[in-house]
Structure 1
Amino acid sequence: MKLPVTRDLHDYWDRLKGERAAPDRADIDPVAIRQILADTFIIEVDASRRFPLRLCGARINALWLAEQKGRQFLNWWSSQHWRDIAAALRQVVDKETPLLAHAAGAAGGESAEFELLLLPLRHFGARRSRVLGSLAPIRPPVWLGMRPIGYLDVVASRTLSEKAMEASDDDWPLGSARRMAAADGASRSFS
Protein backbone atom coordinates (compact mmCIF):
# COMPACT_ATOMS: atom_id res chain seq x y z
CA MET A 1 0.00 0.00 0.00
CA LYS A 2 1.59 3.19 -1.20
CA LEU A 3 -1.04 5.80 -0.40
CA PRO A 4 -2.04 7.12 3.05
CA VAL A 5 -5.71 6.84 2.01
CA THR A 6 -5.31 3.13 1.38
CA ARG A 7 -3.35 2.47 4.56
CA ASP A 8 -5.72 4.56 6.72
CA LEU A 9 -8.82 2.81 5.39
CA HIS A 10 -7.30 -0.65 5.76
CA ASP A 11 -6.09 0.10 9.30
CA TYR A 12 -9.52 1.43 10.31
CA TRP A 13 -11.27 -1.61 8.79
CA ASP A 14 -8.82 -3.95 10.52
CA ARG A 15 -9.43 -2.32 13.92
CA LEU A 16 -13.21 -2.58 13.45
CA LYS A 17 -13.21 -6.23 12.47
CA GLY A 18 -11.12 -7.39 15.43
CA GLU A 19 -11.29 -11.18 15.48
CA ARG A 20 -14.12 -11.31 12.93
CA ALA A 21 -13.53 -11.90 9.23
CA ALA A 22 -15.19 -8.56 8.42
CA PRO A 23 -16.80 -5.70 10.32
CA ASP A 24 -20.45 -4.75 9.98
CA ARG A 25 -21.54 -1.72 7.95
CA ALA A 26 -23.12 -0.30 11.10
CA ASP A 27 -19.68 -0.27 12.78
CA ILE A 28 -18.38 2.36 10.38
CA ASP A 29 -18.32 5.89 11.76
CA PRO A 30 -17.83 8.42 8.93
CA VAL A 31 -16.43 10.94 11.40
CA ALA A 32 -13.60 8.53 12.24
CA ILE A 33 -12.49 8.46 8.59
CA ARG A 34 -13.52 11.98 7.56
CA GLN A 35 -10.06 12.75 6.18
CA ILE A 36 -10.40 9.99 3.58
CA LEU A 37 -14.17 9.96 2.89
CA ALA A 38 -13.72 11.74 -0.45
CA ASP A 39 -11.78 8.73 -1.76
CA THR A 40 -14.03 5.98 -0.38
CA PHE A 41 -17.11 4.10 -1.54
CA ILE A 42 -19.43 1.29 -0.51
CA ILE A 43 -20.66 -1.33 -2.96
CA GLU A 44 -23.82 -3.36 -2.44
CA VAL A 45 -23.60 -7.03 -3.35
CA ASP A 46 -26.93 -7.53 -5.09
CA ALA A 47 -28.47 -10.81 -6.24
CA SER A 48 -27.65 -10.15 -9.90
CA ARG A 49 -24.03 -9.28 -8.96
CA ARG A 50 -24.15 -5.90 -10.72
CA PHE A 51 -22.58 -4.27 -7.65
CA PRO A 52 -24.35 -0.89 -7.38
CA LEU A 53 -22.58 1.86 -5.46
CA ARG A 54 -24.40 2.74 -2.24
CA LEU A 55 -22.08 5.62 -1.29
CA CYS A 56 -19.31 7.38 -3.17
CA GLY A 57 -16.86 10.10 -2.13
CA ALA A 58 -16.52 13.52 -3.77
CA ARG A 59 -13.06 12.97 -5.33
CA ILE A 60 -14.25 9.75 -6.92
CA ASN A 61 -17.33 11.54 -8.30
CA ALA A 62 -14.97 14.23 -9.65
CA LEU A 63 -13.18 11.61 -11.75
CA TRP A 64 -16.33 11.10 -13.81
CA LEU A 65 -17.78 14.60 -13.25
CA ALA A 66 -20.95 12.86 -12.05
CA GLU A 67 -22.47 11.40 -8.90
CA GLN A 68 -21.63 7.70 -8.82
CA LYS A 69 -24.10 6.65 -6.11
CA GLY A 70 -26.59 4.25 -7.66
CA ARG A 71 -24.36 3.45 -10.64
CA GLN A 72 -22.72 0.08 -11.12
CA PHE A 73 -19.14 -0.41 -9.93
CA LEU A 74 -18.41 -2.56 -12.97
CA ASN A 75 -19.15 0.44 -15.23
CA TRP A 76 -15.95 2.12 -14.01
CA TRP A 77 -13.95 -0.54 -15.84
CA SER A 78 -13.25 -1.21 -19.50
CA SER A 79 -15.31 -4.09 -20.85
CA GLN A 80 -12.21 -6.25 -21.24
CA HIS A 81 -11.75 -6.10 -17.45
CA TRP A 82 -15.36 -6.65 -16.32
CA ARG A 83 -14.91 -10.37 -15.76
CA ASP A 84 -11.65 -9.85 -13.86
CA ILE A 85 -13.16 -7.15 -11.64
CA ALA A 86 -16.32 -9.19 -11.03
CA ALA A 87 -14.16 -12.20 -10.12
CA ALA A 88 -12.06 -10.06 -7.78
CA LEU A 89 -15.20 -8.72 -6.09
CA ARG A 90 -16.57 -12.23 -5.69
CA GLN A 91 -13.31 -13.28 -4.03
CA VAL A 92 -13.45 -10.31 -1.64
CA VAL A 93 -17.08 -11.08 -0.80
CA ASP A 94 -17.11 -14.88 -0.76
CA LYS A 95 -13.77 -15.39 1.00
CA GLU A 96 -13.98 -12.16 3.02
CA THR A 97 -10.47 -11.31 1.85
CA PRO A 98 -9.20 -7.76 1.16
CA LEU A 99 -7.79 -6.96 -2.28
CA LEU A 100 -5.32 -4.30 -3.39
CA ALA A 101 -5.07 -3.30 -7.04
CA HIS A 102 -3.22 -0.88 -9.26
CA ALA A 103 -5.38 0.67 -12.00
CA ALA A 104 -4.88 3.14 -14.81
CA GLY A 105 -7.18 5.51 -16.66
CA ALA A 106 -7.08 8.57 -18.88
CA ALA A 107 -8.97 11.77 -19.63
CA GLY A 108 -8.32 13.70 -22.82
CA GLY A 109 -5.26 11.59 -23.59
CA GLU A 110 -3.63 12.27 -20.21
CA SER A 111 -3.22 9.13 -18.12
CA ALA A 112 -3.27 8.61 -14.37
CA GLU A 113 -2.55 5.70 -12.05
CA PHE A 114 -4.72 4.71 -9.09
CA GLU A 115 -4.58 2.52 -6.03
CA LEU A 116 -7.76 0.53 -5.35
CA LEU A 117 -8.61 -1.20 -2.09
CA LEU A 118 -11.60 -3.53 -1.64
CA LEU A 119 -12.58 -4.68 1.86
CA PRO A 120 -15.43 -7.04 2.79
CA LEU A 121 -18.26 -5.73 4.98
CA ARG A 122 -21.22 -7.40 6.54
CA HIS A 123 -24.62 -5.75 6.68
CA PHE A 124 -26.76 -6.46 9.74
CA GLY A 125 -24.51 -9.48 10.29
CA ALA A 126 -25.12 -10.92 6.82
CA ARG A 127 -22.05 -12.03 4.86
CA ARG A 128 -21.68 -11.31 1.15
CA SER A 129 -23.57 -8.03 1.33
CA ARG A 130 -21.23 -5.00 1.12
CA VAL A 131 -17.72 -3.97 0.08
CA LEU A 132 -15.92 -0.94 1.47
CA GLY A 133 -13.32 0.52 -0.84
CA SER A 134 -11.06 3.37 -1.78
CA LEU A 135 -9.85 4.64 -5.12
CA ALA A 136 -7.18 7.31 -5.10
CA PRO A 137 -4.75 8.64 -7.69
CA ILE A 138 -1.11 7.90 -7.03
CA ARG A 139 -0.39 11.44 -8.27
CA PRO A 140 -3.44 13.71 -8.57
CA PRO A 141 -4.01 14.37 -12.28
CA VAL A 142 -4.15 18.01 -13.42
CA TRP A 143 -7.46 17.32 -15.17
CA LEU A 144 -9.27 16.04 -12.03
CA GLY A 145 -12.65 17.77 -11.84
CA MET A 146 -12.30 19.34 -15.29
CA ARG A 147 -12.58 16.36 -17.66
CA PRO A 148 -14.25 13.01 -17.06
CA ILE A 149 -12.07 9.95 -16.92
CA GLY A 150 -12.80 7.18 -19.38
CA TYR A 151 -12.75 3.60 -18.21
CA LEU A 152 -10.25 2.19 -15.77
CA ASP A 153 -7.98 -0.74 -16.56
CA VAL A 154 -6.58 -3.13 -13.96
CA VAL A 155 -2.80 -3.27 -14.13
CA ALA A 156 -2.16 -5.68 -11.23
CA SER A 157 -3.83 -6.95 -8.09
CA ARG A 158 -3.25 -9.15 -5.09
CA THR A 159 -5.18 -10.36 -2.10
CA LEU A 160 -4.03 -9.11 1.27
CA SER A 161 -3.25 -12.09 3.45
CA GLU A 162 -1.81 -11.69 6.93
CA LYS A 163 1.58 -12.76 5.54
CA ALA A 164 1.44 -10.09 2.86
CA MET A 165 0.49 -7.42 5.42
CA GLU A 166 3.72 -8.11 7.34
CA ALA A 167 5.86 -7.29 4.29
CA SER A 168 7.25 -3.80 3.80
CA ASP A 169 6.01 -1.46 1.07
CA ASP A 170 9.33 -1.95 -0.72
CA ASP A 171 8.43 -5.61 -1.21
CA TRP A 172 5.22 -4.73 -3.07
CA PRO A 173 5.87 -2.03 -5.67
CA LEU A 174 2.80 -1.00 -7.59
CA GLY A 175 3.06 -1.62 -11.29
CA SER A 176 5.06 -4.81 -10.93
CA ALA A 177 2.41 -7.41 -11.64
CA ARG A 178 4.89 -10.28 -11.50
CA ARG A 179 6.19 -9.34 -8.03
CA MET A 180 2.72 -8.55 -6.73
CA ALA A 181 1.38 -11.90 -7.91
CA ALA A 182 4.27 -13.71 -6.24
CA ALA A 183 3.25 -12.21 -2.90
CA ASP A 184 0.28 -14.45 -2.38
CA GLY A 185 -0.57 -17.82 -3.84
CA ALA A 186 -4.19 -16.71 -4.22
CA SER A 187 -3.18 -13.56 -6.07
CA ARG A 188 -4.24 -12.85 -9.57
CA SER A 189 -2.49 -10.56 -12.04
CA PHE A 190 -4.28 -8.87 -14.88
CA SER A 191 -2.74 -7.75 -18.14
Structure 2
Amino acid sequence: MKVCEVFRSIQGEGKSQGRPCTFIRMAGCNLRCSWCDTEYAREGGEEMTPEELFSRAVELRGRLVCITGGEPLLQGSDLLPLLARLREYGFSIEIETNGTVDFRRCQEYATVCMDVKCPSSGETSDLSLLSHLKPGDSVKFVVSDYSDCAYAEQVIRSHPIPVEIFISPVYGSDYRIPAEFVLATDLPVRLQLQLHKILGVA
Protein backbone atom coordinates (compact mmCIF):
# COMPACT_ATOMS: atom_id res chain seq x y z
CA MET A 1 0.00 0.00 0.00
CA LYS A 2 1.10 3.57 -0.64
CA VAL A 3 1.54 5.38 2.67
CA CYS A 4 2.39 9.04 3.15
CA GLU A 5 3.11 9.02 6.89
CA VAL A 6 2.36 7.33 10.21
CA PHE A 7 2.42 9.48 13.33
CA ARG A 8 0.84 10.09 16.72
CA SER A 9 -0.95 13.31 17.59
CA ILE A 10 -4.17 14.76 18.96
CA GLN A 11 -7.27 14.04 16.90
CA GLY A 12 -8.34 17.49 15.78
CA GLU A 13 -11.68 16.69 14.15
CA GLY A 14 -14.73 14.49 14.31
CA LYS A 15 -16.26 12.49 17.12
CA SER A 16 -12.91 11.77 18.78
CA GLN A 17 -11.69 15.37 18.78
CA GLY A 18 -9.17 15.93 21.57
CA ARG A 19 -8.21 12.28 22.00
CA PRO A 20 -4.66 10.99 21.44
CA CYS A 21 -4.61 9.14 18.14
CA THR A 22 -2.31 7.26 15.77
CA PHE A 23 -2.72 8.49 12.21
CA ILE A 24 -2.05 6.37 9.15
CA ARG A 25 -2.12 8.77 6.21
CA MET A 26 -2.44 6.97 2.90
CA ALA A 27 -1.00 8.52 -0.26
CA GLY A 28 -3.07 9.34 -3.34
CA CYS A 29 -6.30 11.21 -3.88
CA ASN A 30 -8.89 11.35 -6.65
CA LEU A 31 -9.90 14.95 -5.84
CA ARG A 32 -8.14 18.32 -5.94
CA CYS A 33 -9.99 20.43 -3.37
CA SER A 34 -9.13 24.10 -3.62
CA TRP A 35 -8.46 24.45 0.11
CA CYS A 36 -6.77 21.07 0.64
CA ASP A 37 -4.41 21.19 3.63
CA THR A 38 -2.66 17.90 2.86
CA GLU A 39 -1.59 18.41 -0.76
CA TYR A 40 1.63 16.53 -0.01
CA ALA A 41 -0.44 13.34 0.35
CA ARG A 42 -1.91 13.50 -3.16
CA GLU A 43 1.02 11.73 -4.81
CA GLY A 44 3.95 9.48 -4.03
CA GLY A 45 4.11 7.60 -0.78
CA GLU A 46 6.13 4.70 0.58
CA GLU A 47 5.16 1.09 -0.03
CA MET A 48 4.20 -0.63 3.22
CA THR A 49 2.46 -3.92 3.89
CA PRO A 50 -0.56 -4.25 6.19
CA GLU A 51 1.65 -6.09 8.69
CA GLU A 52 4.26 -3.30 8.65
CA LEU A 53 1.57 -0.71 9.27
CA PHE A 54 0.08 -2.78 12.06
CA SER A 55 3.48 -3.14 13.74
CA ARG A 56 4.06 0.60 13.48
CA ALA A 57 0.68 1.33 15.09
CA VAL A 58 1.48 -1.02 17.96
CA GLU A 59 4.87 0.66 18.44
CA LEU A 60 3.20 4.06 18.74
CA ARG A 61 0.84 2.66 21.41
CA GLY A 62 -2.63 3.94 22.19
CA ARG A 63 -5.95 2.44 21.20
CA LEU A 64 -7.32 4.84 18.59
CA VAL A 65 -6.23 4.73 14.94
CA CYS A 66 -7.38 7.10 12.19
CA ILE A 67 -6.95 6.02 8.57
CA THR A 68 -6.86 9.16 6.47
CA GLY A 69 -5.30 10.61 3.33
CA GLY A 70 -5.41 11.65 0.60
CA GLU A 71 -8.29 9.28 0.04
CA PRO A 72 -7.58 6.03 1.91
CA LEU A 73 -10.32 4.02 0.24
CA LEU A 74 -8.45 4.21 -3.08
CA GLN A 75 -6.26 1.48 -1.59
CA GLY A 76 -9.25 -0.80 -2.13
CA SER A 77 -9.20 -4.36 -0.84
CA ASP A 78 -5.56 -3.99 0.31
CA LEU A 79 -6.88 -1.90 3.21
CA LEU A 80 -9.12 -4.65 4.60
CA PRO A 81 -6.38 -6.91 6.04
CA LEU A 82 -4.96 -3.93 7.92
CA LEU A 83 -8.36 -3.01 9.35
CA ALA A 84 -9.00 -6.60 10.39
CA ARG A 85 -5.60 -6.88 12.10
CA LEU A 86 -6.01 -3.59 13.96
CA ARG A 87 -9.51 -4.49 15.10
CA GLU A 88 -8.44 -7.95 16.24
CA TYR A 89 -5.74 -6.35 18.39
CA GLY A 90 -8.30 -4.09 20.05
CA PHE A 91 -7.84 -0.77 18.27
CA SER A 92 -10.79 1.55 17.67
CA ILE A 93 -10.54 2.61 14.03
CA GLU A 94 -11.83 5.68 12.25
CA ILE A 95 -11.71 6.23 8.49
CA GLU A 96 -11.85 9.72 6.99
CA THR A 97 -13.13 9.66 3.42
CA ASN A 98 -14.10 12.25 0.82
CA GLY A 99 -17.41 10.56 0.01
CA THR A 100 -16.58 9.40 -3.50
CA VAL A 101 -15.71 5.74 -2.81
CA ASP A 102 -18.06 3.11 -1.40
CA PHE A 103 -17.03 2.46 2.21
CA ARG A 104 -19.39 -0.38 3.10
CA ARG A 105 -16.72 -3.11 3.12
CA CYS A 106 -14.86 -1.21 5.84
CA GLN A 107 -17.77 -0.68 8.22
CA GLU A 108 -17.32 -4.12 9.76
CA TYR A 109 -14.07 -2.86 11.26
CA ALA A 110 -14.22 0.93 11.48
CA THR A 111 -16.44 3.96 11.83
CA VAL A 112 -16.57 6.34 8.87
CA CYS A 113 -16.44 10.13 8.73
CA MET A 114 -17.76 11.16 5.32
CA ASP A 115 -16.56 14.60 4.21
CA VAL A 116 -19.28 16.00 1.94
CA LYS A 117 -17.61 18.38 -0.48
CA CYS A 118 -19.12 21.87 -0.69
CA PRO A 119 -19.01 24.25 -3.70
CA SER A 120 -15.89 26.16 -2.63
CA SER A 121 -13.87 22.94 -2.76
CA GLY A 122 -14.45 22.68 -6.51
CA GLU A 123 -15.34 19.01 -6.04
CA THR A 124 -18.43 16.90 -5.33
CA SER A 125 -19.16 13.85 -3.21
CA ASP A 126 -21.50 10.95 -3.98
CA LEU A 127 -24.51 11.84 -1.85
CA SER A 128 -26.04 8.38 -2.35
CA LEU A 129 -23.40 7.10 0.09
CA LEU A 130 -25.12 8.99 2.92
CA SER A 131 -27.77 6.28 3.05
CA HIS A 132 -25.11 3.70 3.98
CA LEU A 133 -23.90 5.45 7.12
CA LYS A 134 -24.41 3.53 10.36
CA PRO A 135 -24.62 4.49 14.05
CA GLY A 136 -21.19 5.61 15.14
CA ASP A 137 -20.38 7.13 11.75
CA SER A 138 -20.42 10.88 11.10
CA VAL A 139 -20.62 13.50 8.36
CA LYS A 140 -18.51 16.62 7.94
CA PHE A 141 -19.13 19.70 5.80
CA VAL A 142 -16.06 21.90 5.38
CA VAL A 143 -17.36 25.40 4.66
CA SER A 144 -15.70 28.67 3.71
CA ASP A 145 -18.60 31.00 2.87
CA TYR A 146 -22.37 31.43 2.86
CA SER A 147 -22.86 29.41 -0.34
CA ASP A 148 -21.15 26.42 1.30
CA CYS A 149 -23.44 26.76 4.31
CA ALA A 150 -26.50 26.96 2.05
CA TYR A 151 -25.36 23.82 0.24
CA ALA A 152 -24.87 21.99 3.55
CA GLU A 153 -28.37 22.98 4.62
CA GLN A 154 -29.83 21.74 1.33
CA VAL A 155 -28.10 18.36 1.69
CA ILE A 156 -29.09 17.96 5.34
CA ARG A 157 -32.73 18.80 4.69
CA SER A 158 -33.03 16.59 1.58
CA HIS A 159 -31.15 13.50 2.81
CA PRO A 160 -31.91 11.58 6.00
CA ILE A 161 -28.58 11.63 7.90
CA PRO A 162 -29.04 9.61 11.10
CA VAL A 163 -25.50 10.27 12.36
CA GLU A 164 -23.65 13.17 13.96
CA ILE A 165 -23.04 16.10 11.59
CA PHE A 166 -20.15 18.54 11.88
CA ILE A 167 -19.84 21.96 10.27
CA SER A 168 -16.13 22.73 10.03
CA PRO A 169 -14.87 26.08 8.71
CA VAL A 170 -11.87 26.13 6.40
CA TYR A 171 -8.88 27.04 8.58
CA GLY A 172 -8.28 30.79 8.46
CA SER A 173 -11.69 31.65 7.01
CA ASP A 174 -14.29 33.81 8.76
CA TYR A 175 -15.57 31.56 11.54
CA ARG A 176 -18.51 33.86 12.20
CA ILE A 177 -20.17 32.71 8.97
CA PRO A 178 -20.70 29.06 10.00
CA ALA A 179 -21.43 30.13 13.58
CA GLU A 180 -24.24 32.41 12.37
CA PHE A 181 -25.46 29.65 10.07
CA VAL A 182 -25.67 27.11 12.89
CA LEU A 183 -27.55 29.56 15.09
CA ALA A 184 -29.94 30.71 12.36
CA THR A 185 -30.92 27.29 11.02
CA ASP A 186 -30.96 25.33 14.29
CA LEU A 187 -30.10 22.23 12.27
CA PRO A 188 -28.93 19.10 14.14
CA VAL A 189 -25.26 19.94 13.61
CA ARG A 190 -22.21 20.80 15.68
CA LEU A 191 -19.79 23.60 14.81
CA GLN A 192 -16.26 22.26 15.08
CA LEU A 193 -12.95 24.08 14.57
CA GLN A 194 -9.81 22.14 13.63
CA LEU A 195 -8.24 21.66 17.05
CA HIS A 196 -4.92 20.41 15.71
CA LYS A 197 -4.52 23.63 13.71
CA ILE A 198 -5.25 25.73 16.77
CA LEU A 199 -2.73 23.76 18.82
CA GLY A 200 -0.15 23.86 16.04
CA VAL A 201 0.32 20.10 15.84
CA ALA A 202 0.16 17.75 12.85
TM above 0.5, yes or no, is no
- TM-score category of the 2 structures, normalised to the smaller one: under 0.3
Relative contact order higher in (CA < 8 Å, ≥ 6 apart): 1
